[in-house]
Structure 1
Amino acid sequence: MSKDFHLTLLFFLTFTLAFSQDFIIKGLVKDDKQNPVVLANVILLSGDGEFIKGTVTNDQGFYEFEDVTSGTYNIVASFIANTVESSSISVTENSVLKPLILQSAQELDEVVVTQKKPVLEQLADRHIFSVENTALSDGDIWDVLKRTPGVMVMNNRLYINGSPNVNVMINGKLVNLPESDIINLLTGSSASNVEAIEVITSPPAKYSAEGGLLINIKMKKNLVAGYNGAVFNRYTQGVLPKHTLGTDHFFKGKKIDFSTNYSFSHNRNWTRYTDITTYLENGIWTAEQKIIDKKKSHNINLFLDVQLNEKNTLSVTSTSNLSPNGNTDYFSITDINTIDGDLAARLDGLNVLKDDTYNTSNYIDWVYKLNDKGAEITTNVHYTYNDSKQNQVLNNNIVQGFTERTSENTLNIASDQIINLFSAQTDLTLPLTKQSVMETGFRVATINSEASIIQSGFDDSVNGISPTGSGLFDYDEQIYAGYVSLNNNWESWKLNIGLRAEYTDTEGNLDMSASLNATSYFNLFPNMALSFKKEKNAFYLKYYRRITRPRYNSINPFQFYLTANSFYEGNPNLKPAYSDYVQFDYVYDRDYKVALFVNRKSNEQAQQIIQDNETSTLRTQFINLETNYFYGIDASVSKELTSYWYLYALVSHYRDKDSFTDPNTNTIVENAIWTTFIRANNYFTLLKDESLFADVTCTYFSPYIRGNSKFESYSKVGLSFRKTFWNKDASISLGIEDIFNTGNTLSTRNYLDQRNSTSARLESRLLILGFRYKFGNTKIRDNSKKKNTDEGKRL
């Protein structure tokens, strides 16, 4: 049978099968004088106290919970400082409960409703890490990601399952920022507003096939009626100080839920690099570089939900980052020695880079409920604008000796890149049976990147120096996508399957070139997540196929210089990469897990450092690897050892094999290694009133590879504390990162005619102090989840 026939049959079944029957719970909240209580907070809990959903009473004091499955529940109602809880109720049909009476004499200092669930929750296609009640709550979100199970941070890059192709979302919305600006955004955002971190290891078909795996940062949503807010302050001392100051605000009315947070960060970062390159017959070049980066960033996030009526909900999300007047100074001293070790020349360089960056991402979501059984239509429109300006002045002086490989000059470089992203997506959710739900949708995205550069002051007589005097590179991309998925949930089995189709059309035009770089391609991206649970045993099988399109700044064909003989440039011929991933998990008693995984990639994009022995230059450029294989085994435990000690520990052992074409000799080179990664996170809740929290993290990485580079092993130990006081309205925190200062990295490239190494010494040992104070109507802690699904494109 044809593929079209199967697709037609699937949609026919969608509309002919009957919808399932869930139940509705209704009730009334009164005070002790029999008056209805307006805007009382009402929470539905499972029989074992787990939070299910929440709402508020209307102007007649009535509340209603829809789509409730059969089971045993409790209901908690509260208003100001008064609370009442129902007796246990069994739901097997639509129910109207007797009124809940709030007694005015019942005064409580604080009512805290929390979810009783494990810190780490394993699902078929993802795992969820709750950060509440840990020492991480007073840190920033970037620190939380460093400690999230399944996530690794190396050299300020996120990795999941060994892959750096990771997209970050906030409340289901993709953060459309370059990697460096994502760090600025997350370091300036308080973790106190985070409900949980979702690590999506098998992305459903409704998400874009772009990139690798997904990290969804689920922010809290205000449940208590009225207004509350917070202020926070965070100071970090490394070699240089860093400071973040911010405020959060939440408001909830009958039909409006609004929150905003703003933070200002003043970061000063210090980094040292040592590059040692043996240019065969041209001597040994040793470059000592010190980089001081100073940047002030303003981050603001806005979240607005408006319930227009019982069927229509409108949501607006906006994330913006402004980093004006950034300044980075590169100080370098390069010694040029002969092969015998004699000093032939010494170069002194100063590279001053000033940059201004502005980024804003805006989303509008409209949800229309087709019926009370879960059928709905969701439409999302998204727009991102990114503007990055750079001005660079590079001075190079020969302070001793003489060399024909470089000259004294002053280089002036001005560049600007403006990126506009627009996308629109419509999704249809249809329950087919009580156990099955189908989702289908269509998406269109258009992207335009316009990069310009003006360069002067270069000595064209030096081999290897051939910059573009001025140029304009215009890149356009259109993506059309459609998908269908089926989510099945039986008593012991769960099966999520989906298929996504994407057509991509790209066009790159360099004004100095007569040729036009245009490509078009169509791909299918299947995914599957299967789980089976019986008693204490759980089995998971997942598969997905993904694409990684080139980042826009990686395809710009311009050269940017770090020193007179070290530069990086874009690659307009960079191809999209594809990844096929399979993983099998066995989990015992929810605490012990063993996972087998294999990942095959084609055209994987890797940033390579390549030396040119003839011109004595180092070029950094993204290239496509020929193949990449990644397979291994994980063993982990996530367990509450005592009433005050929770442990997450992981041992990962895997084989990583990269093959790539050396651009100097056109020879295929293989780089392979077995790597072991060990990690232990310890979370402690201390004191009788449970007001002191501690977090101890240990990490070890054996030697590993990335493209043509091999990295030596490193380890880190971190410690942090958080203490609450003033009835938990205030808290202070203290932390030390990389206590023993062992987190530096050394990479080498020794193959064919390549003989170079890089030693990176970042500010990894940090002292962190934090303070947070909550105010307003904070008597009920929010546990409501905001579930949005959308994604944008990459920068």
Structure 2
Amino acid sequence: MIRNFFTTLLFSLIVSLTYSQDFEITGLVLDEYKKPMVLVNVLLLTQEGDFIKGTVTNDNGFYQFSGIKEGTYQIVASYIENTVESQLIQVSKETEIETLVLNSAQQLDEVVVTQKKPILEHMADRHVFNIENTALSDNDIWSVLKRTPGVMVMNNKLLVNGSSNVNIMINGKRVNLPEEDIMNLLSGNSAGNVESIEVITSPPAKYSAEGGLLINIKMKKNLVSGYNGSVFNRYTQGVLPKHTLGMDHFFKGKKLDFSTNYSFSHNRDWTRYTDITNFFNNGQPSETWRAEQKSIVNKKSHTLNLFLDIQLDEKNTISLTSNSSYSPNGIDDYTSETEIEDTNGVTTALLAGLNISNKDVLNTAYYLDWVHKLNEKGAELSFNTHFTYYDYRINQELNNDFVEGESEFITEDTFNITSNQIINLYSAQTDLTQPFGEHSTMETGLRYASINSEASIVQSGFDQNTERVGLTESGIFNYDEKIYAGYISLNNSWENWKLNVGLRAEYTETKGELNTESIANTNSYMNWFPTMALSYTINKNAFYLKSYRRITRPRYNTINPFQYYLSANSIIEGNPNLKPAYSDYVQFDYVYDKAYKLVLFAGKKSNEQSQQVFQDNTTNIIRTQYINLESNNYYGVDASVSKDITSFWNLFLLISHYYDKDSFTDLNSNTIVENSIWTTHTRATNSFTFLNDKSLYADLTYIHFSPRISGNTKYASYGKLGLSLRKTLWNKAASISLAVEDIFNDGGIKGTRNYLDQSNSTYSRWENRLFIAGFRYKFGNTKIRDNYKRKNTEEGRRL
């Protein structure tokens, strides 16, 4: 079946090369003296003014756009302060438009040439949040994501459309980091070089079917030849201080484009938890355990990103990319004090715990891309390969003191853990883009991925006569996975219609083997993943219909069969029997005047992987384990507005109301339990630009959630308010920023689990109220910049 599938795709590649119906637009830009103008920013727009492509003029003032479909367009040329627009042009053949004439430009110390964009743009399969020239651009990327429309951050995890299965991409390349490290990476990178954030709500078939939805962080690119760079410094004060400093460098030659950014961050993160558990004996309440816990994480991180584009000739370009993160000698200090009471409220015992962990984490990824233009009509063949190495090492020592009643009888228990996980990821993909007929472009490709994970653990110290969950004292768990994939998609565009349809197939083989067991866990499965995005625009009205099917394979750290103790009665464990999860989603949008939006949506998930908390009434232990939910069904409606209220005030307002129902199996009784609720999410963001030179920006954001659910947990409502200010200085060569997050410190989250023999709650308080100060200075040749980055590619991650 796999051979037949790849044969069909290969046949499609060959046949599609014989078709091509797209056209080329060429022209000249001269000054008033009829002399060629060099490095003029030239934009190709639709009839409605939407951006399609951009380029610059060469030494002869010449520009060209290739692979253009039949339709009506407009050309806009900009240089320094001057702009000229062409008449509307109808393209149905090779077109040379009338010469554009720009007046001589005055000399300025610094100019940023941009196309005016709305802060939020709606498209058929995504929406784009443009953050340039806002108060957010001096923040770190993680802080910007918190304020991005359509993105939520709960418990330091990203959610899109209510789903936590979110993959991060930078310039179209997946970031291969575990969820807990994503925040650290993005917190250490400045948003000053971010052009926009794309929230892809209907991923095309070209992208891996793995995971949920996609967030693509598009970085800026230096357009003018020469060098420029910047340095930045950001200080954050919560309960504990945090500090990040870094630098960015850009260089562009005739055939070479290079950029790099490095940052060092020293974060001290403080979190408090209150756990209250009512344990049962023979179905009757027996004891109440009240635990006050505090976590202090002291972590130093180095991040380094490299981007290199080399144009070999007019038809061939290669790109090299590297993303690396290194966090040595991290220290987690976790303390707990637990009071145990009987049913009469009398204290019968006390438990004090100290858990100290030392961590070293290295993640480094390398990408090689090659793009070959097959002809001048837009056909191209590309190949990319990727390798990631991930190394996570931890040494943990857990000490517990037991005090029983008033007798001062004290016992000590010490537990030691040494564990390590090494993961190697490799993938290769080839893609063909081929114009097909007058209104369509076909994309097709093949992909192979190989993953190897080796996890080891050595545990010792606990009294084995004490009744506890069974431990693996030492073991090695090997996991291998291979994925074979292929896709084909067709992108169609008519006068008012756009239709993107695609089909992706993925065949997966897995093998998990624990050295203490004689039987390996093997599995193989083949799945099909259709995608569709349809749009229709007429006058000020736009209609969108999208649907997709996705898969979420288990993360490698979640399938390790080992158990880790947080305290004497609290453990975290993996689940080697986790199944892949599937998600089906459909959404209908109506947008009026590019500002007012109404969305109807519905989704269904099966085997969703979720980290859940269960109490074991026999051993009085709290178990945090990844399980597969039986099902998750949700549907609802969103209403939003994104509009310039005045010339200096932009408003984004969202109200989302939806029904959510989770079905899961209780670990103790194997009973299927349902948890459901109606939830309302509200977000309001006000962006302001002040002063005559538009050098002062402000951003005010409020977020509120009504009660909601996740698996077996119901969360209480909460809200928070944040304010950001940014002032540019010295002709925009420098900027300072100030921000306060969660001004009223209302961002703590309480979760409860009350059903069958479960009665427990967790109240988590992070450092939500933060004061942030930042400074950025740009230097070098900064006179012209564009608003777009190179062609995007992708690669998967499931660390």
Compute the TM-score of the two structures, normalised by the length of structure 2: 0.94
Q: Aligned residue for 1:286?
A: 290
Q: Aligned residue for 1:154?
A: 154
Aligned length: 786
Q: Aligned residue for 2:671?
A: 667
Q: Aligned residue for 1:656?
A: 660
The question of 1:715 aligning with 2:719 is answered: yes
Q: Deviations over 1:317-373 (max 9, x none)?
A: 111000000000001111111111111111111000110000011111100111111
Q: Aligned residue for 1:206?
A: 206
Local SS of the residue matching 1:525: strand
Given that 2:111 and 2:782 are in contact with CA atoms closer than 8 Å, whether structure 1 keeps it comes out as no
Task: State the one-letter code of the partner of 1:324.
Answer: P
Q: Aligned residue for 1:130?
A: 130
Comparing 60-69 and 662-671, the one that deviates more: 60-69
Local SS of the residue matching 1:790: coil
Given that 1:626 and 1:659 are in contact with CA atoms closer than 8 Å, whether structure 2 keeps it comes out as yes
Local SS of the residue matching 1:741: coil
Given that 2:611 and 2:627 are in contact with CA atoms closer than 8 Å, whether structure 1 keeps it comes out as yes
Which residue, out of 65, 73, 76, partners 2:75?
Answer: 73
Deviation at 1:630, TM superposition (A): 1.0
Pick closer, same or farther for the CA change 1:391–1:12 going to 2, 3 Å.
closer
Alpha-carbon separation, structure 1, partners of 2:10 and 2:385: 30
Q: Aligned residue for 2:26?
A: 25
Q: Deviations over 1:107-134 (max 9, x none)?
A: 2233331122211111111111100121
Task: State the one-letter code of the partner of 1:19.
Answer: S
Given that 1:223 and 1:784 are in contact with CA atoms closer than 8 Å, whether structure 2 keeps it comes out as no
Alpha-carbon separation, structure 1, partners of 2:296 and 2:671: 38
Q: Deviations over 1:254-294 (max 9, x none)?
A: 11111110010100000000111111244111111010001
Local SS of the residue matching 1:264: strand
Alpha-carbon separation, structure 2, partners of 1:183 and 1:174: 15
The question of 1:640 aligning with 2:644 is answered: yes
The question of 1:359 aligning with 2:363 is answered: yes
Alpha-carbon separation, structure 2, partners of 1:306 and 1:261: 18
Alpha-carbon separation, structure 2, partners of 1:560 and 1:411: 10
Alpha-carbon separation, structure 1, partners of 2:253 and 2:304: 22
Which residue, out of 552, 577, 589, partners 1:548?
Answer: 552
Comparing 560-569 and 465-474, the one that deviates more: 465-474
Comparing 278-287 and 409-418, the one that deviates more: 278-287
Pick closer, same or farther for the CA change 1:53–1:493 going to 2, 3 Å.
closer
Task: State the one-letter code of the partner of 2:280.
Answer: L
Comparing 107-116 and 131-140, the one that deviates more: 107-116
Alpha-carbon separation, structure 1, partners of 2:406 and 2:569: 15
Pick closer, same or farther for the CA change 1:747–1:253 going to 2, 3 Å.
same
Comparing 190-199 and 12-21, the one that deviates more: 12-21
Map 1:370-519 to 2 at 5 A.
370-401=374-405, 408-519=412-523
The question of 1:607 aligning with 2:605 is answered: no
Alpha-carbon separation, structure 2, partners of 1:6 and 1:561: 51
Alpha-carbon separation, structure 1, partners of 2:239 and 2:356: 20
Given that 1:657 and 1:670 are in contact with CA atoms closer than 8 Å, whether structure 2 keeps it comes out as yes
Deviation at 1:68, TM superposition (A): 5.1
Alpha-carbon separation, structure 1, partners of 2:113 and 2:292: 55
RMSD: 2.6
Q: Aligned residue for 1:594?
A: 598
Alpha-carbon separation, structure 1, partners of 2:217 and 2:191: 10
Pick closer, same or farther for the CA change 1:688–1:28 going to 2, 3 Å.
closer
Pick closer, same or farther for the CA change 1:501–1:673 going to 2, 3 Å.
same
Alpha-carbon separation, structure 1, partners of 2:32 and 2:411: 85
Task: State the one-letter code of the partner of 1:88.
Answer: S
Alpha-carbon separation, structure 2, partners of 1:20 and 1:585: 31
The question of 1:253 aligning with 2:249 is answered: no
Alpha-carbon separation, structure 2, partners of 1:646 and 1:42: 27
Pick closer, same or farther for the CA change 1:6–1:233 going to 2, 3 Å.
closer
Deviation at 1:514, TM superposition (A): 0.7
Alpha-carbon separation, structure 1, partners of 2:519 and 2:229: 56
Pick closer, same or farther for the CA change 1:432–1:127 going to 2, 3 Å.
same
Task: State the one-letter code of the partner of 2:430.
Answer: T
The question of 1:630 aligning with 2:634 is answered: yes
Pick closer, same or farther for the CA change 1:678–1:465 going to 2, 3 Å.
same
Alpha-carbon separation, structure 1, partners of 2:191 and 2:95: 39
Comparing 607-616 and 42-51, the one that deviates more: 42-51
Local SS of the residue matching 1:408: strand
Alpha-carbon separation, structure 2, partners of 1:448 and 1:709: 33
Deviation at 1:28, TM superposition (A): 7.1
Deviation at 1:66, TM superposition (A): 3.3
Deviation at 1:393, TM superposition (A): 0.2
Deviation at 1:572, TM superposition (A): 0.2
Pick closer, same or farther for the CA change 1:16–1:133 going to 2, 3 Å.
closer
Task: State the one-letter code of the partner of 2:73.
Answer: G
Given that 2:404 and 2:410 are in contact with CA atoms closer than 8 Å, whether structure 1 keeps it comes out as no
Q: Deviations over 1:37-68 (max 9, x none)?
A: 8x745433649987654545657775544345
Alpha-carbon separation, structure 2, partners of 1:136 and 1:87: 31
Alpha-carbon separation, structure 1, partners of 2:445 and 2:630: 34
Task: State the one-letter code of the partner of 2:95.
Answer: N
Gaps of at least 5 residues in structure 2 are none
Given that 1:348 and 1:397 are in contact with CA atoms closer than 8 Å, whether structure 2 keeps it comes out as yes
Matched-pair identity in %:
64
Given that 2:41 and 2:786 are in contact with CA atoms closer than 8 Å, whether structure 1 keeps it comes out as no
Pick closer, same or farther for the CA change 1:391–1:472 going to 2, 3 Å.
same
Alpha-carbon separation, structure 2, partners of 1:4 and 1:352: 52
Alpha-carbon separation, structure 2, partners of 1:705 and 1:159: 13
Pick closer, same or farther for the CA change 1:759–1:58 going to 2, 3 Å.
same
Gaps of at least 5 residues in structure 1 are none
Alpha-carbon separation, structure 1, partners of 2:415 and 2:19: 71
Alpha-carbon separation, structure 2, partners of 1:76 and 1:193: 22
Task: State the one-letter code of the partner of 1:233.
Answer: N
Alpha-carbon separation, structure 1, partners of 2:201 and 2:167: 12
Task: State the one-letter code of the partner of 1:778.
Answer: T
Alpha-carbon separation, structure 1, partners of 2:6 and 2:505: 17
Local SS of the residue matching 1:137: helix
Deviation at 1:15, TM superposition (A): 3.4
Alpha-carbon separation, structure 2, partners of 1:87 and 1:438: 32
Given that 2:719 and 2:746 are in contact with CA atoms closer than 8 Å, whether structure 1 keeps it comes out as yes
Pick closer, same or farther for the CA change 1:26–1:589 going to 2, 3 Å.
closer
Deviation at 1:463, TM superposition (A): 1.0
Given that 1:277 and 1:286 are in contact with CA atoms closer than 8 Å, whether structure 2 keeps it comes out as yes
Deviation at 1:411, TM superposition (A): 0.5
Given that 1:218 and 1:786 are in contact with CA atoms closer than 8 Å, whether structure 2 keeps it comes out as no
Alpha-carbon separation, structure 1, partners of 2:57 and 2:764: 58
Alpha-carbon separation, structure 2, partners of 1:6 and 1:554: 36
Local SS of the residue matching 1:362: strand
Deviation at 1:75, TM superposition (A): 2.6
Task: State the one-letter code of the partner of 1:248.
Answer: D
Task: State the one-letter code of the partner of 2:126.
Answer: R
Given that 2:303 and 2:324 are in contact with CA atoms closer than 8 Å, whether structure 1 keeps it comes out as yes
Alpha-carbon separation, structure 2, partners of 1:90 and 1:591: 25
Alpha-carbon separation, structure 1, partners of 2:415 and 2:6: 63
Alpha-carbon separation, structure 2, partners of 1:236 and 1:371: 52
Deviation at 1:74, TM superposition (A): 3.2
Alpha-carbon separation, structure 1, partners of 2:662 and 2:383: 41
Alpha-carbon separation, structure 2, partners of 1:179 and 1:100: 52
Q: Aligned residue for 2:310?
A: 306
Compute the TM-score of the two structures, normalised by the length of structure 1: 0.94
The question of 1:697 aligning with 2:701 is answered: yes
Task: State the one-letter code of the partner of 2:738.
Answer: L
Q: Deviations over 1:542-574 (max 9, x none)?
A: 110000000000000001110011001110000
Pick closer, same or farther for the CA change 1:616–1:48 going to 2, 3 Å.
closer
Deviation at 1:98, TM superposition (A): 5.6
Q: Aligned residue for 1:346?
A: 350
Pick closer, same or farther for the CA change 1:86–1:529 going to 2, 3 Å.
closer
Pick closer, same or farther for the CA change 1:306–1:8 going to 2, 3 Å.
closer
